[in-house]
Structures are given as C-alpha cells and as structure tokens.
Structure 1
Amino acid sequence: MEGDSNGGMLYHEVQESNLCAVHCVNTVLQGPFFSEFDLAALASDLDSKERQMMLEGTASAAVSSDFLSEESHNVSLGGDFSIQVLQKALEVWDLQVIPLDCPVAEAAQIDPELENAFICHLHDHWFCIRKVNGEWYNFDSLNAAPLNFSKFYLSAYLDSLKGSGWSIFLVRGNFPKEFPISSSEASNGYGQWLSPEDAESITKSCNLTQAPSQRNTMSQQPALTETDLQLLSDMEDEDLRVAIAASLMNSSPATASAELTLLMTAK
C-alpha cells in the first residue's frame, strides 16, 4: 500500500502580490514547481502562437493588426494569468484542465469526491481545491493555511460557488507523488509545508483573532459552516438546496447560520 505523498505534509502558498495563479498551480501539484517567471514565459509563448495563427488564418488584415497591437491576452499588467496559461503549466505534468460544465466532466458533477482536484476562478482570483492523502482541502492563498473539507462539504461548496458565478475546472491525470522537500528549491518565498494538524491549528488561531466580517472578506467564499451544510443536505429538494446555499454565500457566518436555521424551522 502506498504511503502518504510528501510524507503526509500539505503544501500551501500564501498570497503574494497578484500571484494567485502561481499559488493555484503549485498547490494543485503540491510543491513549488513553478514561479511567476515560468508562467510569464508560458504566457509569452501563447501570445506568440496566437498572433501567428491570426496572421496565417485571418482574412482581414485590419482584424489581425488590431489583435497584434493589443497587450498580452494571457497575462495582465497586474500579473494575473489566463486559464490557458494554467492549462499549459499543468500539461507539463500530464494533467488536463477541463471546464466542469463540459460533458466529459459529467461524472465529476455527480460525484466530485471521486476526483482529485478543482481550480476555481472569479474576479482575477484563482484557487485550488485538492484531495491530498485521502482528505479534501481548500488551498486558497488568501487563507493562512489549507482548510479541510468533508466529502459532503465539497459537493455543496462547489454548488454554491457555481451559483455565485465562479468558473470551476476539473483537473485530471497523474499527479506528482513527491516533491523533494529537502532540496534547495523547496521554498519559493511564500510556500510552506504543513502537517494537517498544523494547518488546523493555524486556521483555528486565525478564526479567533479575526472578526467574522474580516474572515468573510478575506476568503471571498461561502460563509456556510459544515453544520449549515449538513442542514442543507437534509432538504429533499436538490434545486432548493443549491439555491439556498448560493444565496447565503455573501452573508456573514452568523447571519448565514441564523437564516438557514429559520428556513429549516419553517420547513
């Protein structure tokens, strides 16, 4: 039986500038495999190929000229990268990035817990949800440590993200099993290796020191707790469950829980 990857450690990167795409790719791979310079090189290569295709395939010189005069389509001046760049980076490791609403990803829509990783994007922010050593974690770089998910939380969480306009991509393939933690490349300045216990401890500490409104603003994600989502799971109407989860996403934790309790009482 195979042992835990990376000796049971979790790799997490904390937000640096606008490098959430770099953090996202590295947490999918569970190691500091890519730097911002690596992704910038991939973006430049994609830009060159796209411009070449426009020159060779367009029937309108004016359209081609307009396209060629624009800035990069794959990296913004602020440092945000396109999904095509993330796809190219992960292709290096034989991983496919598939929109979750594609027919080929239908199984993942039904049973997401059987997959290994998802990439989420909204308003120039990228983050990864990843299964590591049999457990699901949210590796959002805006959080101080990865957040552990139950299988039920994963499904409801993805539903609520979709309902709030997030783009979700499935990642499939043969994920790297190990990264040489002891090597000189084991840290890129914002990455850290944490045991699951350390990650839980850091999260609890942050929850105690931050006000609820601050936590909700920093995470940009649902305020629903696992208890809330368990209440949602008791609802028989699947569409109603998803709609309620999505509508409560932007509430503060206390408000979301109170509203959900009232809804369940009324039901």
Structure 2
Amino acid sequence: MSGIYHEKQERMLCAKHALNNLLQRSVFTAEDLDSIGRQLSPANWLNQHKTPFLGNYDINVVMKALQDMSYTVSWFDKRLNPADQNFEEIFGFILNIPTAISVAFVNLWNGKHWVALRKINGVWYNLDSKLQEPRAIGTDQDVRKFLQDVLQKDGTNLFVVKPENPGVSDQPPS
C-alpha cells in the first residue's frame, strides 16, 4: 500500500483519523477538532460535540471540518441505493458504524466508529484506522456492493463527500 496515507487508531480519535485518511494527509489534529466543536457551541463551557476527555467527535465537527476545506457532505442511511449515486462526482465516503468494545464476552462500551472510503489511482480503499493497512475494495461496482452490505447494519450512517469545485483530483498529494 505504498503511497497511501493511513493513520491508525489512537484513543477515540477515529473522526480525526477518518478525516486525514480521506484527505490523504495529516490535516487535522485533536486540537483542531476541539476548536471546531467550541466554534459550533461557543456559549457552552463543555464541548458538546465530543466525548469529554476522549475525543469521539460527532458529525457536526466532521462536516464543519470538511466544509472548511471546501467539500460538501450529504447524509444517507440504509434507504440509500448506492447504485443511484454518480461516483464521478464523489470524492469519498465517511461511514459512522456501530461498534462495541468487549472483554471476555462482557460488553464494556457501545458507540460509533468513523471510517473513510476513498478512490485512489482508480481503486476504492477502505481506510479504516482499525485496519493494519488500507484494504482495497475495488471498482465503483465493488464499492456499491460494499456500501449496500454496510448500510444494512442497524445504526450505520453514510456521508457522501463531494468537492465544491469539481476539479479536485483523486490522487494523493505528492
């Protein structure tokens, strides 16, 4: 997977990792996302857009971060038919999937995990920060099937990311 940027999971910062993996470079830090959360709710002394002390940012922070980078974000759920999407206009996908942390069959935590999908050099990749390395999904048809399968899981949300300027390349920056 040489040449593909891939941040691995650290604490509960999957939103940061998903954003950076989608953008194929280190753009956002936890401090940047904290600042966006405070901008969204300046009257609150506690950042309402993340889990205290842990990260785990909500969709408002993810959307604002991407909007600040000149991307539009559209929300879908399992009612979406991925076959209806024009993949030529899509920069990538951000998934928010149900996840649980368990030890010895004891469920310790239920939550959501942010995952990025991006087409790089003509191939779609799963850039999940929990993976050891990016995982090739394949063609547009393969990612449609992947999305259909993922969207059937309860609680999964899909966010389609498109550039505001259609000339954005699918190539990672040099």
TM over 0.5: yes
Give, in angstroms, the shift of residue 107 of structure 1: 8.5
TM-score, length of structure 2 as denominator length: 0.77
Aligned to 1:79: 55
Mapped to 1, the partners of 2:75 and 2:47 lie a distance apart of: 23
Tell whether 2:147 aligns with 1:158. yes
Contact 2:120 2:172 (8 Å CA) reproduced: no
Aligned-residue identity in percent: 28
Number of aligned residues: 152
Deviations 1:115-152 (A, max 9, x none): 33110002321010111111100000000110001223
Mapped to 2, the partners of 1:178 and 1:119 lie a distance apart of: 17
Mapped to 1, the partners of 2:91 and 2:149 lie a distance apart of: 19
Unaligned runs of 5+ in 1: 1-7, 52-67, 181-267
Q: Look at both structures and tell me which one has the larger radius of gyration over its CA atoms.
A: 1
Tell whether 2:64 aligns with 1:110. no
Mapped to 2, the partners of 1:47 and 1:162 lie a distance apart of: 30
Deviations 1:164-198 (A, max 9, x none): 02101100004476546xxxxxxxxxxxxxxxxxx
* Runs of at least 4 residues off by over 3 Å: 106-109, 111-114, 174-180
Mapped to 1, the partners of 2:83 and 2:70 lie a distance apart of: 22
Aligned to 1:97: 73
Q: Residue 170 of structure 1 is aligned with which of 160, 168, 174? A: 160
Mapped to 1, the partners of 2:61 and 2:74 lie a distance apart of: 13
Mapped to 2, the partners of 1:139 and 1:86 lie a distance apart of: 16
Mapped to 1, the partners of 2:68 and 2:83 lie a distance apart of: 25
Unaligned runs of 5+ in 2: 98-110
TM-score, length of structure 1 as denominator length: 0.51
Give, in angstroms, the shift of residue 110 of structure 1: 1.7
The residue type equivalent to 1:110 in the other structure is D
Mapped to 1, the partners of 2:172 and 2:153 lie a distance apart of: 35
State the Cα RMSD in Å.
2.6
Contact 1:116 1:130 (8 Å CA) reproduced: yes
Contact 1:25 1:86 (8 Å CA) reproduced: yes
Mapped to 2, the partners of 1:15 and 1:149 lie a distance apart of: 20
* Greater helix share, structure number: 1
Aligned to 2:114: 126
Return 20-29 or 8-17, whichever deviates more: 8-17
Contact 1:97 1:172 (8 Å CA) reproduced: yes
Mapped to 2, the partners of 1:154 and 1:116 lie a distance apart of: 13
Relative contact order (alpha carbons < 8 A, sep ≥ 6): 1 or 2 greater? 2
**Residues 1:130 and 1:20: Cα distance change in structure 2 (over 3 Å):** same
* Greater strand share, structure number: 2
The residue type equivalent to 1:87 in the other structure is M
